[in-house]
Amino acid sequence: MPDCECIKCGAKMWYDERTEKDKNPIVLDFSLCCKQGTVKIAYPPLPEILKDLYHKNDRISKFFMENICSFNSMFAFTSMGGNIDSSMNKGVAPPTFVLNDENYHQIGSLLPQPGNQPKFAQLYIYDTNNEIKNRMTSVG
């Protein structure tokens, strides 16, 4: 986890992302996040239900955070593919995503193959009477 915070925008940063790497200042300055305060990004406040999902520590919030990638994938119409090199993700450094050669997006047919569950865009157009059930099945 990043262990520093930009005093201008509040972004979580790594110590080595500071602007003056040759010094050890008491107050750290960062430019990768907000260009030292020159860029202002205004986010509207999260709706209460989303805020609870992200910040509460109850059963529902824990389930949401443990499955957030699956929920995100549920709303994806395509899947990214390529030659992924995960050999660099050893040790204690932050994870690195390395994609060699070309990347591509996979999109299947509009109907699932016989005996297969619907996925990606199929979750929205196949068996519309049961689309929520189809999406929930694809999470697990």
CB-based contact 31:19 (threshold 8 Å): yes
pLDDT tens-place string over residues 63-121 = 999 888 777 766 666 677 788 888 888 888 777 878 888 877 777 677 788 888 777 77
Alpha carbons within 13 angstroms on the beta-carbon side of residue 5 total 3
Give the whole-angstrom CA distance, residue 120 versus residue 29. 42
CB-based contact 82:101 (threshold 8 Å): yes
- Going from N- to C-terminal start, the domains of the chain cover 1-43, 48-139
Partners of 110 in beta bridges: none
Sign, Cα dihedral of 105, 106, 111, 115: negative
pLDDT tens-place string over residues 25-72 = 788 899 999 998 898 878 888 999 999 999 999 999 999 998 887 777
